[in-house]
Amino acid sequence: MAENEGFVDISLEQDGGLLKKILVEGTGDEQPPSGSEVKVHYVGTLQSDGSKFDSSRDRGDKFKFDVGVGQVIKGWDVGICTMKRGEKAILRARSDYAYGDSGSPPKIPPKATLDFEVELFEWREKVKEPYDMSPEERSEFAAKQKDLGNAAFGKQDWLAAISAYDEGARYITFGQGGDGGGHGHTHSHGHGPCSGHHGGDDEPELSDEDKKLAIALLCNGAMAKLKVGEPDGAKFDCSKALEFDPANIKALFRRGKAKLALGEHDASMEDAARVLELDSANKDAETLKRQAELDKKKQKQKEKAMCSKISADLLGRVGQLVRLPSLERLSVRYFQVEVASCSLALEHVTEGRLL
């Protein structure tokens, strides 16, 4: 039939119930899997006379829904899962793929065939929580997140890299460690309210390969966090990685850098020294140790200068208050105030390599 020229039968039964005509080709090879949350624009018309009965474009907002799970008509559930990102197509749905024998009065008559011009913008796959996955599924998902994180890191999209690494680490470390494996656990996991599922003794110990994956996600995440000035998070990630491998040089070194940025100079030097025990020729660790020593010395000098200033100011104020000329001859040391909390956090971030 001429009216169906350019259309392809994509119906499940291959009986013409659902036809598709591509207007604008999409990009890539991926298509939204069933259960994904998709965003589309659409214009719905009656195939019989072309009259419009609905349009997201007229409302100005993209339509968002979960495809393939019965939230929309069958023609959409089937048709949109055949589209690629950025594709625009006409889906021609017979009544059994649309609103059936009764239609949807008053705009859609009974047994009506409908045309939908649909443009697919994006989709987001819905992923099961780690407690609903097998260890193999968690490992597969975490590996994908590592790849996503590495790609974002290569583009210097630090926040996207952190998000991917953290999500991968959350899955691969589920059920591991004293807190049940909740990575960065603050009782929200950074992904909405805590479900209360933290794994337990029934979770098997990670395989050697999964331990390597966990360490890579944690160490790479730490490096990305150092890039955006989040040394606390970097320190946590490295400490978690060291639970799986206490002699991991990258985790020790990056934790040392995080501690340096936090002003924990002695602890930073301890991590650098441990790296040098494991690798005596590690130049980066030598540099880190020297930097921590230098920064500690500078901090003490600043604290000493600050204490001297406070003492001098206090001496002047007391002298003015009691108006004793002889007070100027009193030892400044008598009025010296010890300020033990004047530590200054020094940020020191250097380059590294992804695992």
Any catalytic annotation for residue 116? yes
- In angstroms, the CA 54 to CA 75 distance is 16
How many helices (H) and strands (E) would you count in the chain?
9, 7
CB-facing half-sphere around the CA of 211: CA atoms within 13 A: 12
The one catalytic residue in 7, 63, 97, 99 is: 99
Residue 336's DSSP bridge partners are: none
- Residue bearing tokens 């020229």: 5
Any catalytic annotation for residue 54? yes
Beta strand spans in the chain (E): 8-9, 18-24, 37-46, 52-55, 63-66, 88-93, 114-124
State the Rg of the chain over Cα.
Answer: 31
The one catalytic residue in 9, 22, 54, 284 is: 54
The one catalytic residue in 42, 97, 236, 244 is: 42
The one catalytic residue in 9, 22, 53, 121 is: 53
CA 221 to chain centre: 9
CA 201 to chain centre: 27
- In angstroms, the CA 338 to CA 340 distance is 6
Any catalytic annotation for residue 165? no
Question: How many angstroms separate the Cα of 247 from the Cα of each of 250, 272, 325?
Answer: 9, 12, 64
DSSP character string of 193-210: S--S----TTSPPPPHHH
The one catalytic residue in 7, 10, 66, 73 is: 73
- In angstroms, the CA 217 to CA 229 distance is 18
Task: Name the helix (H) or strand (E) containing 38.
Answer: strand 37-46
CA dihedral 139, 142, 144, 150 (to 10 degrees): -140
Any catalytic annotation for residue 295? no
| DSSP type of residue 178 | T
- Residue bearing tokens 């890299």: 161
Question: How many angstroms separate the Cα of 187 from the Cα of each of 138, 163, 190, 197, 341?
Answer: 20, 17, 8, 10, 31
Any catalytic annotation for residue 131? no
Integer distance in angstroms from the first to the last C-alpha of the chain?
A: 58
The one catalytic residue in 7, 63, 97, 116 is: 116
Any catalytic annotation for residue 236? no
Q: Which residues are catalytic?
A: 42, 53-54, 73, 99, 116
